[in-house]
């Protein structure tokens, strides 16, 4: 029997955690080998497979996150920035790969991922969707091809419960556009506009954020010049695309050397 990659899921009782459990169960080459939740969670002691509706998994949800990392080949983390930083240290100590889909990371959280990546494979992506990562690559190419007379605006919409804005995906799209244009993203980005802002500055990369309802995620990159406009859009209607991408990444890390990777690496789009 071919060895299966042992996958652990942090936050297995949540909506995304349960979806990850379902995707692992239906994906060849891997098996659920660990699941955790925060102390005090109502899901502690439960079987994550039963909770996710795919039957008994033989795994029990625990609050021993360090123990989870010690018993798996790769752990998937869609939590919050501070927790992801702590989990990066646990992954490095345990020698398991970390797949992180957490957004809203600050410099100190990214530093924790960098430190872990010196010892184990770490995949971080603001969006695990294959389609969105293709959009990153296309956005960079279009920005490279067009002259600066084309203004760049990024519009995103998510459900009303999302806590960070602009979304991590929107920021990654802006960074891709900046790379294509050969400019510094932090210098050119305009994250919001209010009041009398004056005329739009040539070269700026603007953002607009919408929140409402149960929208899974919509992102558009608009290149607008005199007389013409190009719009690149991705619409997500099923959160399963993020879970499938994360499990694909967890399987991909098998045999990979330590390093900080992205979904672009996994999809073969790096340098595209």
d(C-alpha 97, C-alpha 265), whole Å: 15
236, 129 contact by CB (below 8 A): yes
109, 81 contact by CB (below 8 A): yes
d(C-alpha 155, C-alpha 157), whole Å: 7
Strand partners, 222: 153, 231
Given the residues 158, 189, 219, 234, the one annotated as active site: 158
Which whole-number Å values give the CA distances from 141 to 133, 135, 169, 219, in the listed order?
A: 13, 10, 17, 17
d(C-alpha 20, C-alpha 245), whole Å: 10
Q: Which residue has the tokens 């625990």?
A: 62
d(C-alpha 145, C-alpha 83), whole Å: 40
115, 87 contact by CB (below 8 A): no
What are phi and psi for residue 41, nearest 5 degrees?
A: -65, 145
- Is 189 a known active-site residue? no
- Is 158 a known active-site residue? yes
Structure tokens at 39: 């102390």
Helical (H) or strand (E) element with 245: helix 240-252
d(C-alpha 136, C-alpha 170), whole Å: 10
Overall size of the chain counted in residues: 272
27, 58 contact by CB (below 8 A): no
Q: Which residues are catalytic?
A: 158, 162
């Amino acid at each position: 029997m071919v060895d299966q990659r042992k996958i652990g899921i942090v936050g297995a009782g949540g909506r995304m955690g349960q979806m990850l459990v379902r995707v692992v169960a239906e994906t060849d080459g891997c098996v659920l080998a660990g699941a955790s939740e925060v102390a005090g969670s109502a899901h502690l002691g439960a079987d994550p497979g039963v909770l996710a509706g795919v039957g008994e998994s033989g795994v029990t949800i625990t609050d021993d996150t360090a123990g989870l990392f010690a018993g798996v080949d790769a752990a998937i983390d869609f939590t919050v920035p501070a927790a992801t930083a702590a989990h990066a240290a646990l992954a490095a100590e345990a020698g398991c790969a970390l797949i992180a889909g957490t957004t809203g990371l600050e410099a100190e959280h990214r530093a924790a991922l960098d430190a872990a990546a010196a010892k184990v494979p770490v995949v971080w992506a603001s969006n695990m969707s294959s389609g969105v990562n293709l959009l990153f690559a296309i956005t960079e190419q279009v920005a490279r091809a067009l002259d600066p007379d084309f203004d760049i605006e990024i519009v995103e919409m998510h459900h009303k419960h999302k806590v960070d804005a602009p979304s991590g995906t929107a920021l990654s799209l802006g960074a891709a556009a900046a790379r294509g244009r050969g400019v510094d993203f932090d210098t050119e980005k305009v994250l919001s506009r209010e009041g009398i802002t004056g005329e739009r500055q040539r070269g700026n990369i603007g953002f607009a954020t919408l929140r409402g309802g149960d929208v899974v995620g919509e992102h558009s990159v608009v290149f607008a010049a005199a007389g013409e406009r190009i719009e690149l859009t991705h619409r997500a209607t099923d959160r399963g695309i993020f879970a499938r991408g994360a499990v694909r990444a967890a399987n991909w890390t098998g045999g990979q050397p330590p390093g900080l990777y992205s979904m672009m690496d996994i999809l073969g789009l790096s340098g595209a």
